[in-house]
Amino acid sequence: MGESIYLSVVVPAYNEERRIGKTLAAMRQFLDRQSYVYEVIVVNDGSKDTTDAVVSIIAEGWPELKFISNSVNQGKGAVVKQGVLGAKGQYILFSDADNATPIEQVDKLLPYVTQYPVVIGSRYCRGAHVHIPQSRHRILLSRASNLLIRILAVPGIYDTQCGFKLFEQRAGKNIFANVKLDRFGFDFEVLVIARHLGYAFKEVGIDWYNDMESKVRTGREALRTLRDLLRVKLNLLRGRYNSSSVVVSRHDRISR
Protein backbone atom coordinates (compact mmCIF):
# COMPACT_ATOMS: atom_id res chain seq x y z
CA MET A 1 0.00 0.00 0.00
CA GLY A 2 1.48 3.37 -1.04
CA GLU A 3 2.28 6.25 1.26
CA SER A 4 -0.44 8.83 1.84
CA ILE A 5 -0.15 12.07 -0.10
CA TYR A 6 1.15 14.99 1.94
CA LEU A 7 0.64 17.87 -0.52
CA SER A 8 -1.80 18.33 -3.39
CA VAL A 9 -1.22 21.23 -5.77
CA VAL A 10 -4.27 22.33 -7.78
CA VAL A 11 -3.56 24.35 -10.94
CA PRO A 12 -6.48 25.88 -12.87
CA ALA A 13 -5.71 26.36 -16.57
CA TYR A 14 -7.52 28.28 -19.29
CA ASN A 15 -5.79 28.83 -22.65
CA GLU A 16 -2.38 28.28 -21.05
CA GLU A 17 -0.55 26.55 -23.91
CA ARG A 18 2.29 29.12 -23.77
CA ARG A 19 2.89 28.96 -20.01
CA ILE A 20 1.68 25.67 -18.57
CA GLY A 21 4.66 23.58 -19.69
CA LYS A 22 7.18 25.91 -18.05
CA THR A 23 5.10 26.15 -14.88
CA LEU A 24 4.72 22.39 -14.53
CA ALA A 25 8.44 21.86 -15.18
CA ALA A 26 9.27 24.27 -12.35
CA MET A 27 6.79 22.54 -10.03
CA ARG A 28 8.17 19.10 -10.78
CA GLN A 29 11.77 20.22 -10.29
CA PHE A 30 10.91 21.53 -6.83
CA LEU A 31 8.48 18.83 -5.70
CA ASP A 32 10.67 15.91 -6.77
CA ARG A 33 13.32 17.18 -4.35
CA GLN A 34 10.99 17.03 -1.36
CA SER A 35 10.83 14.13 1.09
CA TYR A 36 7.02 14.01 1.07
CA VAL A 37 4.58 12.39 -1.36
CA TYR A 38 2.74 14.85 -3.59
CA GLU A 39 0.30 15.14 -6.46
CA VAL A 40 -0.32 17.94 -8.96
CA ILE A 41 -3.85 18.31 -10.33
CA VAL A 42 -4.28 20.43 -13.44
CA VAL A 43 -7.89 21.37 -14.19
CA ASN A 44 -8.48 22.53 -17.76
CA ASP A 45 -11.30 25.09 -17.88
CA GLY A 46 -12.55 24.42 -21.40
CA SER A 47 -9.47 25.86 -23.11
CA LYS A 48 -9.78 26.64 -26.81
CA ASP A 49 -6.05 26.27 -27.50
CA THR A 50 -3.76 23.24 -27.10
CA THR A 51 -3.60 23.31 -23.29
CA ASP A 52 -5.32 19.92 -23.16
CA ALA A 53 -2.78 18.32 -25.49
CA VAL A 54 0.23 19.89 -23.76
CA VAL A 55 -0.81 18.71 -20.28
CA SER A 56 -1.79 15.27 -21.54
CA ILE A 57 1.69 14.76 -23.00
CA ILE A 58 3.38 15.92 -19.78
CA ALA A 59 1.15 13.62 -17.70
CA GLU A 60 2.31 10.56 -19.67
CA GLY A 61 5.77 10.85 -18.14
CA TRP A 62 4.81 12.15 -14.71
CA PRO A 63 2.81 9.73 -12.53
CA GLU A 64 2.14 12.38 -9.88
CA LEU A 65 0.35 14.60 -12.40
CA LYS A 66 -3.42 14.16 -12.63
CA PHE A 67 -5.41 15.91 -15.32
CA ILE A 68 -9.07 16.92 -15.25
CA SER A 69 -10.26 18.26 -18.60
CA ASN A 70 -13.54 20.13 -18.93
CA SER A 71 -14.95 20.68 -22.42
CA VAL A 72 -16.88 23.81 -21.40
CA ASN A 73 -15.51 26.93 -19.68
CA GLN A 74 -16.88 27.18 -16.13
CA GLY A 75 -14.72 29.86 -14.51
CA LYS A 76 -11.65 29.79 -12.30
CA GLY A 77 -13.61 29.39 -9.07
CA ALA A 78 -15.51 26.40 -10.42
CA VAL A 79 -12.41 24.51 -11.57
CA VAL A 80 -10.38 25.26 -8.44
CA LYS A 81 -13.33 23.88 -6.46
CA GLN A 82 -13.33 20.79 -8.69
CA GLY A 83 -9.63 20.24 -8.07
CA VAL A 84 -9.76 20.81 -4.32
CA LEU A 85 -12.71 18.48 -3.81
CA GLY A 86 -10.87 15.76 -5.76
CA ALA A 87 -7.51 16.23 -4.02
CA LYS A 88 -6.14 13.53 -1.70
CA GLY A 89 -3.37 15.42 0.07
CA GLN A 90 -3.20 16.13 3.78
CA TYR A 91 -2.67 19.74 2.67
CA ILE A 92 -4.04 21.30 -0.52
CA LEU A 93 -2.46 24.27 -2.29
CA PHE A 94 -3.93 26.03 -5.26
CA SER A 95 -1.49 27.90 -7.44
CA ASP A 96 -2.01 29.91 -10.63
CA ALA A 97 -0.82 28.53 -13.96
CA ASP A 98 1.40 31.58 -14.62
CA ASN A 99 3.66 30.62 -11.67
CA ALA A 100 3.58 34.27 -10.54
CA THR A 101 4.18 32.92 -7.05
CA PRO A 102 6.93 30.30 -7.48
CA ILE A 103 6.06 26.91 -6.02
CA GLU A 104 9.04 27.21 -3.64
CA GLN A 105 7.01 29.76 -1.69
CA VAL A 106 4.90 26.95 -0.27
CA ASP A 107 7.74 26.49 2.23
CA LYS A 108 6.72 29.83 3.76
CA LEU A 109 3.12 28.69 4.21
CA LEU A 110 3.54 25.11 5.45
CA PRO A 111 4.98 26.02 8.90
CA TYR A 112 1.70 27.75 9.80
CA VAL A 113 -0.81 25.20 8.54
CA THR A 114 -0.87 23.07 11.70
CA GLN A 115 -2.10 26.11 13.63
CA TYR A 116 -4.11 27.80 10.87
CA PRO A 117 -6.21 25.53 8.61
CA VAL A 118 -6.09 28.22 5.91
CA VAL A 119 -2.83 30.02 5.02
CA ILE A 120 -2.84 32.54 2.18
CA GLY A 121 0.03 34.05 0.23
CA SER A 122 0.06 37.84 0.15
CA ARG A 123 1.75 40.47 -2.01
CA TYR A 124 1.00 43.28 0.42
CA CYS A 125 1.68 42.18 3.99
CA ARG A 126 4.98 42.18 5.89
CA GLY A 127 7.56 39.89 4.34
CA ALA A 128 6.20 40.14 0.79
CA HIS A 129 8.49 40.95 -2.13
CA VAL A 130 7.03 42.03 -5.47
CA HIS A 131 9.89 41.53 -7.90
CA ILE A 132 8.07 42.56 -11.09
CA PRO A 133 5.30 45.05 -10.25
CA GLN A 134 2.05 45.62 -12.08
CA SER A 135 1.38 48.90 -13.87
CA ARG A 136 0.41 51.86 -11.68
CA HIS A 137 -3.24 51.88 -12.74
CA ARG A 138 -3.58 48.14 -12.03
CA ILE A 139 -2.09 48.58 -8.58
CA LEU A 140 -4.47 51.46 -7.81
CA LEU A 141 -7.53 49.50 -8.96
CA SER A 142 -6.34 46.42 -7.08
CA ARG A 143 -5.91 48.33 -3.83
CA ALA A 144 -9.29 50.07 -4.24
CA SER A 145 -10.93 46.67 -4.75
CA ASN A 146 -9.13 45.29 -1.69
CA LEU A 147 -10.37 48.21 0.40
CA LEU A 148 -13.94 47.33 -0.57
CA ILE A 149 -13.32 43.68 0.24
CA ARG A 150 -11.88 44.55 3.66
CA ILE A 151 -14.79 46.85 4.49
CA LEU A 152 -17.57 44.56 3.28
CA ALA A 153 -16.26 41.01 3.64
CA VAL A 154 -12.84 40.17 5.09
CA PRO A 155 -11.48 42.80 7.52
CA GLY A 156 -7.73 42.80 8.13
CA ILE A 157 -6.65 40.85 5.04
CA TYR A 158 -4.57 42.88 2.62
CA ASP A 159 -4.46 40.52 -0.36
CA THR A 160 -7.41 38.20 -0.87
CA GLN A 161 -6.78 37.75 -4.60
CA CYS A 162 -3.31 36.24 -4.68
CA GLY A 163 -3.58 32.84 -6.38
CA PHE A 164 -1.55 30.95 -3.80
CA LYS A 165 -3.59 29.53 -0.91
CA LEU A 166 -2.99 26.50 1.31
CA PHE A 167 -5.66 24.49 3.13
CA GLU A 168 -5.68 21.64 5.60
CA GLN A 169 -7.61 18.91 3.81
CA ARG A 170 -10.83 18.83 5.81
CA ALA A 171 -11.01 22.62 6.07
CA GLY A 172 -10.37 22.99 2.33
CA LYS A 173 -13.03 20.52 1.34
CA ASN A 174 -15.61 21.93 3.75
CA ILE A 175 -14.91 25.47 2.54
CA PHE A 176 -14.97 24.68 -1.18
CA ALA A 177 -18.10 22.57 -0.86
CA ASN A 178 -19.80 25.87 0.02
CA VAL A 179 -18.26 28.01 -2.74
CA LYS A 180 -20.96 29.52 -4.98
CA LEU A 181 -18.98 31.93 -7.18
CA ASP A 182 -17.57 30.50 -10.39
CA ARG A 183 -15.11 33.26 -11.27
CA PHE A 184 -12.56 35.56 -9.65
CA GLY A 185 -14.69 36.54 -6.64
CA PHE A 186 -14.24 33.03 -5.23
CA ASP A 187 -10.86 34.13 -3.81
CA PHE A 188 -12.46 36.32 -1.16
CA GLU A 189 -15.52 34.10 -0.91
CA VAL A 190 -13.40 31.21 0.43
CA LEU A 191 -12.13 33.47 3.24
CA VAL A 192 -15.66 34.62 4.09
CA ILE A 193 -16.74 30.97 4.24
CA ALA A 194 -13.67 30.00 6.31
CA ARG A 195 -14.48 32.67 8.88
CA HIS A 196 -18.16 31.73 8.87
CA LEU A 197 -17.33 28.06 9.52
CA GLY A 198 -14.89 28.95 12.28
CA TYR A 199 -11.58 28.23 10.52
CA ALA A 200 -8.70 30.50 11.49
CA PHE A 201 -6.52 31.80 8.68
CA LYS A 202 -3.12 33.43 8.33
CA GLU A 203 -1.78 35.88 5.71
CA VAL A 204 1.89 35.32 4.86
CA GLY A 205 4.12 37.49 2.66
CA ILE A 206 5.46 35.76 -0.46
CA ASP A 207 7.66 36.52 -3.46
CA TRP A 208 5.62 37.47 -6.51
CA TYR A 209 6.40 38.23 -10.15
CA ASN A 210 3.86 40.01 -12.33
CA ASP A 211 3.15 38.24 -15.61
CA MET A 212 2.74 40.70 -18.48
CA GLU A 213 0.44 38.19 -20.24
CA SER A 214 -2.10 38.26 -17.41
CA LYS A 215 -5.67 37.68 -18.61
CA VAL A 216 -7.21 39.78 -15.83
CA ARG A 217 -8.81 43.01 -17.07
CA THR A 218 -8.75 45.29 -14.05
CA GLY A 219 -11.56 47.66 -15.03
CA ARG A 220 -13.98 44.84 -15.72
CA GLU A 221 -12.84 42.87 -12.68
CA ALA A 222 -13.34 45.88 -10.38
CA LEU A 223 -17.03 45.95 -11.35
CA ARG A 224 -17.26 42.17 -10.95
CA THR A 225 -15.68 42.46 -7.50
CA LEU A 226 -18.43 44.81 -6.34
CA ARG A 227 -21.11 42.56 -7.80
CA ASP A 228 -19.59 39.44 -6.22
CA LEU A 229 -19.23 41.16 -2.84
CA LEU A 230 -22.95 41.83 -2.85
CA ARG A 231 -23.64 38.22 -3.82
CA VAL A 232 -21.46 36.94 -0.96
CA LYS A 233 -23.21 39.21 1.55
CA LEU A 234 -26.59 37.93 0.32
CA ASN A 235 -25.42 34.33 0.56
CA LEU A 236 -24.38 34.93 4.17
CA LEU A 237 -27.75 36.46 5.02
CA ARG A 238 -29.56 33.55 3.38
CA GLY A 239 -27.52 30.93 5.25
CA ARG A 240 -26.02 29.42 2.10
CA TYR A 241 -22.61 28.86 3.74
CA ASN A 242 -23.77 26.71 6.64
CA SER A 243 -22.70 23.25 5.43
CA SER A 244 -19.65 21.74 7.12
CA SER A 245 -20.35 18.04 6.68
CA VAL A 246 -18.11 17.03 3.77
CA VAL A 247 -16.97 13.43 4.11
CA VAL A 248 -13.26 13.21 3.33
CA SER A 249 -12.12 9.93 1.84
CA ARG A 250 -8.58 8.89 1.05
CA HIS A 251 -10.06 6.77 -1.75
CA ASP A 252 -11.73 9.56 -3.73
CA ARG A 253 -10.90 9.22 -7.42
CA ILE A 254 -9.95 11.96 -9.86
CA SER A 255 -11.03 11.85 -13.49
CA ARG A 256 -8.16 11.54 -15.93
pLDDT per residue as tens digits for the range 179-207: 999 988 999 999 999 999 999 999 999 99
Q: How many domains does the chain have?
A: 1
Task: Report pLDDT for 3.
Answer: 84
Contacts of 157 (CB under 8 A, 6+ apart): 120, 122, 149, 150, 191, 201, 203
**Would you say residue 44 lies in a domain?**
yes
**Would you say residue 213 lies in a domain?**
yes
**Would you say residue 243 lies in a domain?**
no
3-state DSSP of 8-77: EEEEEECCCCCCHHHHHHHHHHHHCCCCCCEEEEEEEECCCCCHHHHHHHHHHCCCCEEEEEECCCCCHH
**Would you say residue 251 lies in a domain?**
no
Q: Which helix (H) or strand (E) holds 224?
A: helix 218-237
| CA 185 – CA 132 distance, rounded (Å) | 24
For residues 133 and 123, the answer to whether their CB atoms sit within 8 Å is: no
**Would you say residue 253 lies in a domain?**
no
pLDDT per residue as tens digits for the range 2-35: 689 999 999 999 999 999 999 999 999 999 999 9
**Would you say residue 220 lies in a domain?**
yes
- Does 142 have pLDDT greater than 70? no
**Would you say residue 246 lies in a domain?**
no
pLDDT per residue as tens digits for the range 81-135: 999 999 999 999 999 999 999 999 999 999 999 999 999 999 999 999 998 665 5
Domain of residue 233, residue span: 7-237
For residues 254 and 66, the answer to whether their CB atoms sit within 8 Å is: yes
**Would you say residue 65 lies in a domain?**
yes
Domain of residue 79, CATH code: 3.90.550.10
pLDDT per residue as tens digits for the range 43-69: 999 999 999 999 999 999 999 999 999
Amino acid at 44: N
- Does 208 have pLDDT greater than 50? yes
